[in-house]
Structure 1
Amino acid sequence: MTLTHEEEGRAGDELARLLLEAGALTPEWAGAFGAVPRALFLPDLIWPYDMTTGRSVPVSRGEDPETWERTAYADVPVVTQWDDGEHEGTEPGTVATSSASMPYVVAVMLRDLAAGAGMRVLEIGTGTGWNAALLAHRLGDANVVSVEIDPAVAERARAALKRAGLSPEVVLGDGAAGWPEGAPYDRVIATAGVRALPPSWLAQTRPGGVILAPWGTHYSDQDALVRLTVAEDGSASGTFRSMVEFMKLRAQRLDWDRFHEHVPAFPGDADVSRTKLTRADLGDRYEPARFVTGLCVPDCAHVVNPTGPNASRAWFFDLRTRSWAAVDFRTGRPWSTVHQSGPRRLWDEVEQALTWWSSQGSPALTRFGLTVAPDGTPHPWLDHPDHPLPFG
């Protein structure tokens, strides 16, 4: 069964109503959500993300149209491409490389962007085209430029926008470069996670304009929405809003293979010590402890691997040298073994950051902010730009 145009409109209106009730959607965007159906922008084969199991499952419109339609209007993220388009078959690929964000996150980002009539908006990462369509419906086609790096993804987005009766400019290019031909912009919105804010975005945003982006560090996959206001000197500053997790800009993905030579043999000549911190102290997926540690311990990547039923090993790798650290955690043990190698004492830095965060009363994410220099250099802070973090 395929929904009629009228049924799609009702489904879109119902989605808007639910998002309004949740406080994610503001009234001025409700009309766009009702008028621009998400289903128009999804391919026939999609992989919705199951929030309970943490798995992506294939759903085919041809084989199971009812589930496909239901998924199109559900508040779940949907993978639309794997492995930069090299993936074949129906089962999930290795790395998700394009998607339709969950409607709740889309609504929150449009709310925080606060784009109004007459404003020009640059979107980084067209994806399915749905977000560009929502922007164009409210602001007008001429005021929206969207940049997409993948030719196939860009072409599908253009076709979907045409079906929706909209025609914002979709540019094929690297979003990290922005789109200077359309500058200056009043708003820049990124739908891909960034590890370094490109100076081009700052240069192409007018003073007083806003950049909204999922920003984070290589310490984890975590991103946090940051809303930056551009100053006259070309810098930008603002606070973190909420935790999210986006696919990263292609040029800023972390290549884990680079760490193979860090640990030729474990433990090798590493120094050995102990810590009273536990695996739980490191924080989990959407907890601020992990994000704050990334702010305080720059140029560090970390991952936790299970090593037994009640045991795990946390790895920490320096992005600049071959320094590394590993901590073996075991449930119920009052201490954990620490190995550190190289000129940088990574675990000492992590422990110092977590201890400092706890000493400050474990401040929430929204108390932290970021100032970005015109050259893209980030300066994180707590409560006010005049209060930079003591580390990093």
Structure 2
Amino acid sequence: MTAVEPDPGSATALRLHLADVLTMSGDLRTTPWRSAVETVPREVFIPGFFERVDGPRETMWRPVTPELVGAEERLELTYTDETWVTQLNQGITAFDTDVPIPGVPTSSSTLPGLVVRMLEELQVEDGNRVLEIGTGTGYSTGLLSARLGSELVTSVEVDRRVADHAVRSLSAAGYAPVLVADDGLLGHQPGAPYDRVIATCAVRHIPSAWLAQSRPGGLILTTMLGWLGASSGLVRLEVIGNGSAEGTFLGGTDSFMPARPHAAPKLDDSVYSWIEEVGTTDRRTVVGPEILDPWDGWTSLFIAQLAIPDAQLLTYGIDDGPVLDHIVDTSQQSVAIPYRTPDESAAVRRAGPVDLWKPVERAITEWRAAGSPALDQFRISVSPDSQTVWFGDPAGPLSWKLRTSA
């Protein structure tokens, strides 16, 4: 197929339509950001991407490039409010294949609605200096540059190949912010102090560099990550100074790829053998497996991962048996498998030296006793010595210290 470039007139119309869609959804709320959405050409930032295809055995990723997909279809996809994966396995792009392939997404262009909602929640003002963590394709960097001016925007991307692509795309769109290929968890000291810090990756805790490089009164916006698979909605903190900040969860169930140093360690196949071989004990529990279902209750899953921060979730069945959630903490060689008995009572099968389900029971019981508050009622307090997520009282039963090492 001969590559055909999109019609600029069609792209303009689609940008205007996207702005209308995001306004109706409530993500786009102010005139300056609407102007940015109407101006920045998303197609420049994602000339090729992957479309998810769910197969009978595994998820495949269909490449969408000018050589494989017609200009009109490609442009329509580009301006839908969708996240498009742009890299698999930390290196494969849509231009590296002409057929659907399996893989693990490692970079993407986040759905415009979430990007814009985050930018609105960042509460920027004219003249603010902004540090962005996770450049990705550069589209959100372009929106920031259109809103504030390139000279006030610094963006850090850990993947040099992704960063190089973003530099070219930003230049083609007419923007020239400071773009650094480095570990975003370290920020970028030469541009400090910043009025705003925004992260398009999820973290287990707030990096100290972001706090140190923000001016007192500045804002930090990010998502919090847990290894059971529940990212929070957004968290916005106001920097106090001297390594301290106070913030609140903004609600929602938005999810970002983890900052690579904060990602859960990969579990190899040996973990399955270990789980099947270790001796087990069954007992009744007051907390059933439904609290791990994000569709049943996102807040309960988030609380569970606060209670057991080093545990991971594996879901599978053995010998044609039922598919069950396995809570695994390899550092403690322990596993918990909550399930429902034939009479619908809640039970848990545990193995290893540590009862992983006990802290979950305690946390969920306290949460329910407090009226099952939603995540947007929780707060986060940061000091040089610790970081705490809490409801009601930072020293109360509904409070958890975050792991402050990756």
The question of a shared fold, defined as TM-score above 0.5 by the shorter chain, is answered with: yes
Give yes or no for the alignment of 1:202 onto 2:211: yes
Q: 1:341 aligns with which of 323, 327, 352?
A: 352
Q: Could you say if the C-alpha distance between residues 261 and 386 of structure 1 is closer, same or farther in structure 2, counting changes exceeding 3 Å?
A: closer
Q: 2:373 aligns with which of 363, 383, 387?
A: 363
Q: Is the 8 A contact 1:297 1:391 kept in 2?
A: no
Q: Could you say if the C-alpha distance between residues 32 and 362 of structure 1 is closer, same or farther in structure 2, counting changes exceeding 3 Å?
A: same
Q: Could you say if the C-alpha distance between residues 320 and 230 of structure 1 is closer, same or farther in structure 2, counting changes exceeding 3 Å?
A: farther
Which residue in the other structure is 2:228 paired with? Answer: 219
**Counterpart Cα distance in 1 of 2:291 and 2:244:** 34
1:99 alignment partner, SS class: strand
Give yes or no for the alignment of 1:156 onto 2:165: yes
Give yes or no for the alignment of 1:169 onto 2:185: no
Which residue in the other structure is 1:78 paired with? Answer: 84
Q: CA deviation at 1:151?
A: 1.4
Name the aligned partner's letter for residue 370 of structure 1. Answer: I
Name the aligned partner's letter for residue 225 of structure 2. Answer: G
**Counterpart Cα distance in 1 of 2:178 and 2:400:** 42
User: How many correspondences in the alignment?
Assistant: 389
Q: 1:124 aligns with which of 117, 130, 133?
A: 133
Q: Is the 8 A contact 1:145 1:170 kept in 2?
A: yes
Name the aligned partner's letter for residue 64 of structure 2. Answer: V
Q: Give per-residue Cα distances to partners, 1:34-63, cap 9 Å, x unaligned.
A: 00021110033x113479x98754323322
2:222 alignment partner, SS class: strand
**Counterpart Cα distance in 1 of 2:382 and 2:191:** 22
Which residue in the other structure is 1:140 paired with? Answer: 149
Name the aligned partner's letter for residue 79 of structure 1. Answer: V
Q: 2:323 aligns with which of 262, 287, 312?
A: 312
2:276 alignment partner, SS class: coil
**Counterpart Cα distance in 1 of 2:326 and 2:381:** 29
Which residue in the other structure is 2:193 paired with? Answer: 184
Q: Give per-residue Cα distances to partners, 1:155-189, cap 9 Å, x unaligned.
A: 11011101111100111111111100111101110
Gaps of 5+ in 1: none
Name the aligned partner's letter for residue 333 of structure 2. Answer: R
**Counterpart Cα distance in 1 of 2:387 and 2:77:** 38
Q: Is the 8 A contact 2:202 2:257 kept in 1?
A: yes
Deviating more after overlay: 199-208 vs 249-258: 249-258
Q: CA deviation at 1:95?
A: 1.2
RMSD, matched Cα: 2.7
2:233 alignment partner, SS class: strand
Q: CA deviation at 1:318?
A: 2.9
Q: Could you say if the C-alpha distance between residues 197 and 390 of structure 1 is closer, same or farther in structure 2, counting changes exceeding 3 Å?
A: closer
Name the aligned partner's letter for residue 139 of structure 2. Answer: W
Q: CA deviation at 1:106?
A: 0.4
Q: Is the 8 A contact 2:389 2:400 kept in 1?
A: no
**Counterpart Cα distance in 1 of 2:224 and 2:263:** 13
Q: 1:33 aligns with which of 5, 30, 37?
A: 37
1:58 alignment partner, SS class: strand
Give yes or no for the alignment of 1:20 onto 2:23: yes
Q: Could you say if the C-alpha distance between residues 189 and 311 of structure 1 is closer, same or farther in structure 2, counting changes exceeding 3 Å?
A: same
Q: Could you say if the C-alpha distance between residues 124 and 137 of structure 1 is closer, same or farther in structure 2, counting changes exceeding 3 Å?
A: same
Deviating more after overlay: 137-146 vs 83-92: 83-92
Q: Is the 8 A contact 1:83 1:93 kept in 2?
A: no
Superposition pairs of residues 242-257 of structure 1, within 5 angstroms: 242-257=252-267
| Percent sequence identity over aligned pairs | 33
Q: Could you say if the C-alpha distance between residues 94 and 360 of structure 1 is closer, same or farther in structure 2, counting changes exceeding 3 Å?
A: same
Name the aligned partner's letter for residue 60 of structure 1. Answer: T
Q: Is the 8 A contact 2:230 2:301 kept in 1?
A: no
Deviating more after overlay: 118-127 vs 327-336: 327-336
2:358 alignment partner, SS class: helix
Q: Could you say if the C-alpha distance between residues 340 and 202 of structure 1 is closer, same or farther in structure 2, counting changes exceeding 3 Å?
A: same
Q: CA deviation at 1:383?
A: 4.6
Q: Could you say if the C-alpha distance between residues 390 and 143 of structure 1 is closer, same or farther in structure 2, counting changes exceeding 3 Å?
A: closer
Name the aligned partner's letter for residue 43 of structure 1. Answer: P
Q: Could you say if the C-alpha distance between residues 215 and 265 of structure 1 is closer, same or farther in structure 2, counting changes exceeding 3 Å?
A: closer
2:126 alignment partner, SS class: coil
Gaps of 5+ in 2: 402-406
Give yes or no for the alignment of 1:7 onto 2:13: no
**Counterpart Cα distance in 2 of 1:319 and 1:189:** 32
**Counterpart Cα distance in 1 of 2:188 and 2:219:** 16
Give yes or no for the alignment of 1:97 onto 2:125: no
Superposition pairs of residues 288-327 of structure 1, within 5 angstroms: 288-307=299-318, 311-318=322-329, 320-327=331-338
Q: Is the 8 A contact 1:47 1:57 kept in 2?
A: yes
Deviating more after overlay: 3-12 vs 177-186: 3-12
2:202 alignment partner, SS class: coil
